[in-house]
Chains A and B, each alone.
Chain A
Amino acid sequence: MTAPTNAGVGTGITSTPGAAAVPPPGSPNDMTTHQKKRPRVPSGHRRLLTRRDRVTLGLMAGVPTILHVALVWLTALASVALAFTTWDGIGFDSIKWVGLHNFSELFSSNPQFWPAVEHNVIWFVVLILVPTPMGLFLAVQLDKKIRFSRVYQTAFFLPVVVSMAVIGFVWQLVYNPDTGLINSLIGANEPGHYIDWIGDPDLNLWAILVAASWRHTGYMMILYLAGLKGVDPSLREATALDGANEWQTFRHVIFPTLRPTNTVVLVVTIIEALRAFDLVFVFNKGAQGTELLSILVTNNIIGESSRIGYGSAIAVVLLVISLAVIIPYLIATFRKERRA
């Protein structure tokens, strides 16, 4: 147990709990007995750590690891396994192995599945096409140190601070077809010329996306502002000396230097699109036109007689999509780090 202990000083603290090369839970005890035989004889590279240190480190790295493995990995693997069964959640003897049945059912006869996939994709496309450039635009403007810049920053960032559920409630008040702000202003809450922002499948997804974009713009703005702070001022000076106008400077100098930020923005947006849930759930629970994968998972698993196997199958689809996006990103990032 000597080698990992020392290595563990570095990795156990700085890396994520799951990846940490930590001693197994039993090891602090092993070390205790080991230490008793040779009390306080620090030798070689071990002298840096007293017994107490080691117990502390073991607990600090071990407890989170156990929790992480139990609550993240085991549950994830359990859902993957359950995706091939049917289970109503009552007793383990009611788990029945059904192979790929849940998936074939999902792909062929669930009328909500493909719309949900489509909506997740639309969610991503809209977030990347509308609020992201908006956020970039705002960030570039605010970076010019205009007057009241802090006030604007705060105003645009405010929606990001508020929880998604609250945003859902607020926008519901705006969109409520009978008493909401929009319909009351334009008089569209009368029979005959009625606009159902929440219930109409041709409208509700876009209505929610406005709310999501409203929030996402502030998020993107902050990320880009941070990126812009990192742009070397001498680059700007050089372009100014070369006589470039504002657009040229942005196009050929500033934007290329924002490349790392763009990667982060892309990843953040993909994650936002995949985990979209709270806003829609509060808004109309994923009714006609706003189905999302996360909502289908919830609808199938939560409740008094759940379809846990079926819900797990949807969760697995979501997991696979997430992995397909995340793995290439991680590979690319690690490759870059190794090269550096």
Chain B
Amino acid sequence: MHSSSLGRPMPAPSRRSVLRGIGGAAVLGAGIPLLSACGGSGTAVDPKTVSLGSNASDAVPKKAFAEIYAAFQKQSGITVDVNTKDHNTFQEQINSYLQGTPDDVFSWFAGYRMQFFAAKKLATPIDDVWQKIGGNFPDAMKALSKGEDGKFYFVPISTSLWGVFYRRSVFKQYGYEVPTTWDQLVALCKQMKKDGLVPLAFGDKDAWPALGTFDQINFRTNGYDFHVELMAGKASWTDAKVRKTFDNWTEILPYHQDGAVGRTWQDAAQALIAKKAGMYLFGSFVAQQFTNKADLDDLDFFPFPEIDPAYGQDTVEAPTDGFMLSKAPKNTSGAHKLLEFLGTPEAEQIYLKSDTSLVAASNKADTSSYTALQKKAYATISGAKHLTQFMDRDSRPDFTSTVMQPALQKFVRDPKGVDSLLASIERQKKTIFASA
């Protein structure tokens, strides 16, 4: 039911993992201090092994990472002992995992989610690793890898990209032009509706896709800085600027696919594949749904059009995945070597050969093997002035999952009650952000 793709930020736990989670919170919670107390006095550490906790449970990334670790072993003689967990389970258990006896290195997401655990002292800074790999990454990636204290905690490896996806053949058939401004987008939506197409495919059953739509419209309307402040709980949701975002959204909402709250993003993608929908605002991993090679070659995207000329299209949503160093790694020097290797263009290339729906985080990686879509995504990311992660990676996940997801589902269903909705969001936000 759930894809464990990169942009799928909200865990939707299976029943078993729910139970495990409850057990973890209740029982392990009590045992944590004991565990960590005796963790330090472990037996002699094997300098030739680094343990790694991985959420890459899907076949494609799992195989790709295994190839990276094999290359690392060949180069350094250090074995990577991989402990792979189901993608969703890994996310749900991350709290108790990091507090217990985590592996030396673990896979995680950039942005607020990384900073959160860094601030909780559940990760070790890796500034010395970055001294070696710093040259491999653009500035936007460097900024994404830093904790609130300014130290590096994260080695990025791959990035997906949010944009408006469409099929070239459909645009050609009807003679559509790629819109670059808001007015053009609205006009295009109107035209598509006239032509009998669903202008914008949309599925929000999993509740997180609408977060991405909000992100695009908000940073185009109000700019990156305001978006970041809003995500950090500093700006108010009752601010007129936010209201403006929702007004814009309301304007194009009628052109979205009917009944979004009952549809998964995969089903929405089917509308694009079947050429029933003209466009689909989504992450680049939508390409995974295009199982037919000819359809995939027909897939293209454009960055979300400009709304306010003051901000243009300077911000791009690019959720990034990578690795962190746990709080008390057993084999620190080995782990450092591994992280250095993961930060090289070679490691990224090995990965991206297998998974073509993503692009490298490094700007040194060889892009010659990229598909046309990957090349375009890569160019869009490197040209961006600011990168955002995704609402629940840029903000507190508890806020986004318990407040924003239901609120945006409500908005999508019924856009009329915006003011009371925003007041309610602001009230709940204050409590949640005050509790930390």
Q: In the assembly, what is the distance between CA of A49 and CA of B153, in Å?
A: 64
> Cβ of B413 and Cβ of A92 under 8 Å apart?
no
Q: In the assembly, what is the distance between CA of A305 and CA of B397, in Å?
A: 6
> Cβ of B25 and Cβ of A306 under 8 Å apart?
yes
Given A89-B29, A109-B428, A199-B205, A304-B113 contact (CB < 8 Å): yes
Stretch of A10-18, A258-266, A284-292 with 4 or more beta carbons under 8 angstroms from chain B? A284-292
> Cβ of B258 and Cβ of A196 under 8 Å apart?
yes
Chain B: CB-nearest residue to A198: B262
Given A196-B261, A199-B259, A303-B435 contact (CB < 8 Å): no
Q: Tell me, yes or no, whether B398 is within 8 Å of chain A by CB.
A: yes
Residues of A within 8 A of B410 (CB): 111, 288
Residues of B within 8 A of A179 (CB): 267
Residues of B within 8 A of A105 (CB): 428, 431
Q: Tell me, yes or no, whether A132 is within 8 Å of chain B by CB.
A: no
Residues of A within 8 A of B207 (CB): 285, 287
How many residues on the B side are at the interface (Cβ–Cβ under 8 A)? 55
Residues of A within 8 A of B99 (CB): 90-91
Residues of B within 8 A of A178 (CB): 263, 267, 270-271
Stretch of A34-42, A226-234, A238-246, A294-302 with 4 or more beta carbons under 8 angstroms from chain B? A294-302
> Cβ of A199 and Cβ of B432 under 8 Å apart?
no
Q: Tell me, yes or no, whether A272 is within 8 Å of chain B by CB.
A: no
Q: Tell me, yes or no, whether A131 is within 8 Å of chain B by CB.
A: no
> Cβ of B21 and Cβ of A199 under 8 Å apart?
no
Residues 79-134 of A at the B interface (beta carbon under 8 Å): 86, 88-92, 96, 98, 101, 105, 109-112
In the assembled complex, how far is the CB of residue B206 from the closest CB belonging to chain A, in whole angstroms?
8
Residues of A within 8 A of B116 (CB): 305
> Cβ of A298 and Cβ of B435 under 8 Å apart?
no
Stretch of B70-78, B89-97, B218-226, B341-349 with 4 or more beta carbons under 8 angstroms from chain A? B89-97
Residues of B within 8 A of A191 (CB): 198, 257-258
Q: In the assembly, what is the distance between CA of A301 and CA of B23, in Å?
A: 11
Q: Tell me, yes or no, whether A58 is within 8 Å of chain B by CB.
A: no
> Cβ of B15 and Cβ of A165 under 8 Å apart?
yes
Residues of B within 8 A of A201 (CB): 413
Q: In the assembly, what is the distance between CA of A278 and CA of B424, in Å?
A: 28
> Cβ of A302 and Cβ of B21 under 8 Å apart?
yes
Q: How many A-B residue pairs have CB under 8 A?
A: 140
Please tell me the size bucket of the interface on A: 35 or more
Contact partner, B260, options A88, A199, A285, A303, Cβ 8 Å: A199
Binary CB contact string for chain A from 242 to 260 against chain B (1 if under 8 A, 0 otherwise): 0000000000000000000
Q: Tell me, yes or no, whether B227 is within 8 Å of chain A by CB.
A: no
In the assembled complex, how far is the CB of residue B106 from the closest CB belonging to chain A, in whole angstroms?
12
> Cβ of B406 and Cβ of A96 under 8 Å apart?
no
Q: Tell me, yes or no, whether B12 is within 8 Å of chain A by CB.
A: yes
Q: Tell me, yes or no, whether B8 is within 8 Å of chain A by CB.
A: no
Binary CB contact string for chain B from 231 to 262 against chain A (1 if under 8 A, 0 otherwise): 00000000000000000000000000111111
Residues of A within 8 A of B320 (CB): none
Q: Tell me, yes or no, whether A197 is within 8 Å of chain B by CB.
A: yes
Residues of B within 8 A of A195 (CB): 259
Contact partner, A287, options B402, B409, B428, Cβ 8 Å: B409
Residues of A within 8 A of B407 (CB): 111
Q: Tell me, yes or no, whether A156 is within 8 Å of chain B by CB.
A: no
> Cβ of B406 and Cβ of A112 under 8 Å apart?
yes
Q: Tell me, yes or no, whether A322 is within 8 Å of chain B by CB.
A: no
Residues 28-48 of B at the A interface (beta carbon under 8 Å): 29, 32-33
Residues of A within 8 A of B206 (CB): 285
Contact partner, A303, options B198, B258, B401, Cβ 8 Å: B401
Given A90-B99, A109-B424, A307-B435, A288-B398 contact (CB < 8 Å): no
20 extra interchain contacts, Cβ-Cβ under 8 A, other than A75-B26, A165-B15, A175-B262?
A: A90-B120, A91-B120, A92-B33, A98-B435, A111-B407, A177-B259, A179-B267, A198-B261, A198-B262, A199-B263, A288-B410, A300-B402, A302-B18, A302-B92, A303-B11, A303-B91, A304-B113, A305-B95, A305-B116, A306-B398
Enumerate the 7 nearest inter-chain pairs by beta-carbon distance, A residue then B residue, closest first.
A199-B261, A199-B262, A196-B259, A198-B262, A86-B435, A194-B258, A196-B262
Chosen A-B contacts, 19 in total, with CB atoms closer than 8 Å, are: A71-B27, A88-B398, A98-B435, A109-B431, A176-B267, A177-B259, A178-B271, A194-B258, A198-B263, A199-B205, A199-B260, A199-B263, A200-B261, A288-B409, A302-B25, A304-B91, A304-B95, A307-B435, A308-B25
